[in-house]
Amino acid sequence: MSLPDHLTPRRHPDTAFRVFEGEAVLISPAQNMVRTLNVTGSRIWELMDGEHSIADIAAILSQEFEVSTAHALSSVRAFVQELAERQLVQLAS
Amino acid sequence: METAFVLSFAGLSFRIDAPEPEWSQRLQERYQAFLADEAAADWRIALRHAPDLPQAAADWARHEATRTEFHIASYRGRVDFATRRAQVLTPDLQRAPSALARTITFIATVILPREKDGLLLHACGLASDAAAFAFCGPSGAGKSTIAQLVPPTLQVMSDENVIVRLSEAGPILYNTPFWGQNTPETRIHRQRIHRPLKAAFILKQSPRWSLRPLAPSQAILALLATEKVAVERTPSAQAWLDIASRLLAQTPIFELGFLPAPELWSFLAEQGFPIPLSSPESRHVPPRPSHSPTPS
């Protein structure tokens, strides 16, 4: 089941990150995990500030990366879902 | 006889309380070049003699709030970052240097990014008259081999632990008193050395020579894989990433595929790293990586 578009994802406060030339490196001591994100994933990560909804993020990505809103929405939902399952983001409605 | 002494390097200082005068004397002889005025100590480390301390069945470390406890090999201890005190137990004098090295390098990995604009690098540091190079890697990557191949124009700073600190003039590489556990004493020369860091190389044993500039995120992952990195707590990890980011802005980092042979130095010279290297024009700038439009 995909996530509702009105949810506002927020980066988990226990995840350290830094963006290097557009690519984010995430470190989660609690998960004992290091992960890199490509440019698109990094942009989504930066927008997950607890203020932007999934729909907001998809709209911004659609504009910045020149892809359809439907494609952006699908990508953002899947990406947020994956990060939520890994406890790297928190979801609020 | 006083059993306490102070070790100082790269802007860090540790007062060591040894359990017996003989321990203190032997350790001071070992670390003579790094002894300092007692008043300079920021940290206090109690070294304790525990003759019945068993070998850890499995190494462990536990991090809670400001405290870390550990039992690694035959060393057991605790570190409190709030009080800046630590205690480490070891079964005999012979293993006391390793116990101290493990404890102090762990403390350094945590406090350097947070307080000193620096990082401890798990690296072999080499210095010329004017510059330094760091050859980084996890255990078994070839740091000791690099140290054994060193040409006369370069001096080994340490084959295991060096410290880089950022400054307005650029990154400076400092040595530490701590060398590889298996390095013969005859090869160890403990002297205080610091030089401008010109480049860092991530070691990769390979059937052929190669040198590849690393994109920033690749360099970060490679440095994280070198083991001695403070990512045990979120603030530590964030501080490490922030300092590493600044280091990358000032220092080129390469993946060095190498064979354990003295031709290493001529290979590096062919790549624009004459030994000794003094010209800033020979720096390499990593190219920008290509990106996929799909999140990963």
Residues B64 and B135 in one domain: no
Spans of chain A, pLDDT less than 50:
none
Q: Final residue of a domain: which of B65, B90, B115? A: B115
Q: Tell me the average pLDDT across B45-50.
A: 97
Which residue in the block uniquely carries the two structure tokens 């800033």? B280
Whether the CB-CB separation of B50 and B89 falls below 8 Å is answered with yes
**What pLDDT sits at residue A1?**
64
Give me the mean pLDDT over the B163-192 stretch.
Answer: 91
Q: Which of B69, B94, B115 is where one domain is finished?
A: B115
- H or E segment and range at residue A39: helix A39-47
Domain annotation covers residue B49: yes
> What is the chain B residue with the closest CA to A64?
B293
The minimum CA-CA distance between A93 and chain B, rounded to whole Å, is 23
Same domain, B240 and B148: yes
Same domain, B183 and B251: yes
Mean pLDDT of B169-179: 95
What is the sign, positive or negative, of the torsion defined by CA atoms of B191, B194, B198, B202? positive
For residue B90, the one-letter residue type is T
Q: Which residues contact B288 (CB under 8 A, 6 or more apart)?
A: A21, B215
Chain A residues with CB under 8 Å of B217 CB are: 20-21, 23-25, 36
CA distance B246 to chain A (A): 10
pLDDT higher than threshold 90 for residue B185: no
Q: How many domains does chain B have?
A: 2
Distance CA B190, CA B178 (A): 9
The pLDDT-based confidence of B1 (bands split at 50, 70, 90) is: low
Q: State whether B91 and B215 are in the same domain.
A: no
The interface pTM score, or ipTM, of the predicted complex is: 0.90
Give the separation between CA A83 and CA A7, rounded to whole angstroms.
14
Domains of chain A: 8-86 (3.90.930.60)
Q: What span, in angstroms and rounded, lies between the C-alpha atoms of B107 and B103?
A: 6
Q: B83 with B133, same domain?
A: no
Asked whether residue B293 is assigned to any structural domain, the reply reads no
* Neighbouring-strand partners of residue B257: B204, B210
Residue of B233, B240, B292 lying closest to A38 (CB–CB): B292
Q: How many CA atoms lie within 13 A of A20 on its CB side?
A: 27
Of A18, A22, A37, the CB nearest to B242: A18
What residues make up the domain containing B270? 118-282
- Assess whether B90 and B57 both reside in one domain: yes
Q: CB distance B245–A16 less than 8 Å? A: no
Residue B288 lies in a domain: no
Closest Cα partner for B120 from B157, B79, B164, B159? Answer: B164
